[in-house]
Chains A and B, each alone.
Chain A
């Protein structure tokens, strides 16, 4: 099929429809709104449901209901809206219900701004809602992957009976790139859900979708059986892309849009004879621990590049486990780092590899002369305003 030029938000919407999603519940928010708008246009034409709820909380509870009924269902929002969905996501986890949640991140905290960010890494991988549970988290880094990952997320979610999240950001949502749209799945071929609440027809016991368990022993059994599933997922579903890692002295780790900036920096470093490589986590939960561990056997230093003040860097440190320094470079507030800045951080990582100490570079620190030497925060702000 010929490629078409599409925005990431629209490509993700079309990808979800082709993966058999016929139910969308959402509430508008920048920079995600094109996704909902696309669904509003398409769903009525294909016998699907598009419903703009009165709030994000309502939308996620509508997802709960549709998921319990056994259909492929999704919601999408941006950071503040995903916070609101937190309670419902926890209930979905507790009731073992699959669904797709899309977060096209903007900068925070609070209302923050509408420009790209990765400040929801912790929220996504640690605690999307209260309690002792996880959601699967996938991180696309191109419009092609925005289109492709909806099907992956639905497949994983259905297989493990748990919510799956696609963690994107304003850059990936707003950008246009050529995309080859995935094959359309036949609704009849979607996996059967024998647990779904489809009506007993007086032929079987009724099914229950519920997260309430008042008896501690019952609840512990449920949580532990879920934990067993998590263990299996961590063992089998870690995914990442590795570029020039085999001989790398400095291994850059970056996901999503930040990995695009990091790749430009790694390529520039190689042109200057610096052995840099890139590990790009595709699954953020489960985290690709094995790939990072393996690279730590030969790397002199790691560098995490993020659109935040440093969140995923902690997972890199856990995996590297003290074998070498794990440094951090990032911008926040919606400012997208320039590859030239990331290149400087790569060079600094190599220079200071023998020190055994980690360093962090944030523009404010550079301005104060605490670290690095290339910070011009005002210039960056003007450039990207």
Chain B
């Protein structure tokens, strides 16, 4: 995986922090001096339906900002997993929240990584930060940036009204980074 030339698709329900997770990745790329685009799905699907966002990282100017064949899929719910798993490029990565998705992929040409992000967030009193836990794991899997840069990205991305959330976000990032793949697919 060329982590500096990578197309990422993050998908889940509205409210799971899919767009924020994408924004963290995009912000880190900005700090790292890469070209980057962040494109959300927008419209009625925001209200409880599925929600996704495309993040393109590149060392060259980016053409289309829409990711239709992701190098990496981060799926936060089962409908999103089912919708996009077949679109992943051969050799790509599929990262899922195992707490919410109980599947094994039929494809053998992708790297499948499952961590129980929601359960981890609850066990660590980091409710609603499963999204950031998954970003931490993606960071370890691909090395698209560094923990230090992601911590800066968190400081930039958390709104000024909620600075108390910076520390929990950083903790979620590290816990996610150190989480172990629990995919059990024969």
Contacts and interface: CB of A to CB of B under 8 A. Distances in A.
Nearest to B62: A260
Interface string A162-185: 000000001100111110000000
A339 B69 CA distance: 11
B168 interface: no
Interface in B1-49: 23, 26-27, 30, 35-40, 42-43, 45
B64 interface: yes
Choose among A174, A264, A265 the residue with the greatest number of B CB atoms under 10 Å from its CB.
A174
Interface size class of A (residues with CB under 8 A): 20 to 34
B39 A174 contact: yes
B26 A176 contact: yes
Nearest to A2: B30
Nearest to B27: A5
A261 B43 contact: no
Nearest to A334: B43
Contacts of A115: 43
Contacts of A265: 63
B42 A261 contact: no
Q: Binding site of B, secondary structure by majority: helix, strand, loop or mixed?
A: mixed
Choose among A115, A178, A260, A261 the residue with the greatest number of B CB atoms under 10 Å from its CB.
A178
Interface of A: 3-5, 30-31, 114-115, 170-171, 174-178, 260-265, 267, 336, 338-339, 382-385
A111 to B, nearest CB: 13
B66 to A, nearest CB: 5
B20 to A, nearest CB: 12
B30 A114 contact: no
A171 B65 contact: yes
Given A175-B38, A260-B65, A339-B63, A114 B87 contact: no
Given A176-B23, A176-B38, A383 B87 contact: yes
A174 B66 CA distance: 12
Nearest to A3: B30
Choose among B26, B27, B30, B40 the residue with the greatest number of A CB atoms under 10 Å from its CB.
B30
B111 interface: no
B127 interface: no
B124 interface: no
Contacts of B40: 174
A222 B62 CA distance: 46
Interface string B141-152: 000000000000
Given A5-B26, A114-B42, A115-B43, A178 B64 contact: no
A355 B36 CA distance: 41
A114 B43 contact: yes
B182 interface: no
B42 A5 contact: no
Contact of A175 (B23, B27, B35, B37): B37
Contacts of A175: 37-39, 65
B16 to A, nearest CB: 18
Contact of B64 (A3, A177, A260): A260
Given A5-B23, A30-B42, A170-B42, A176 B63 contact: no
Nearest to A243: B61
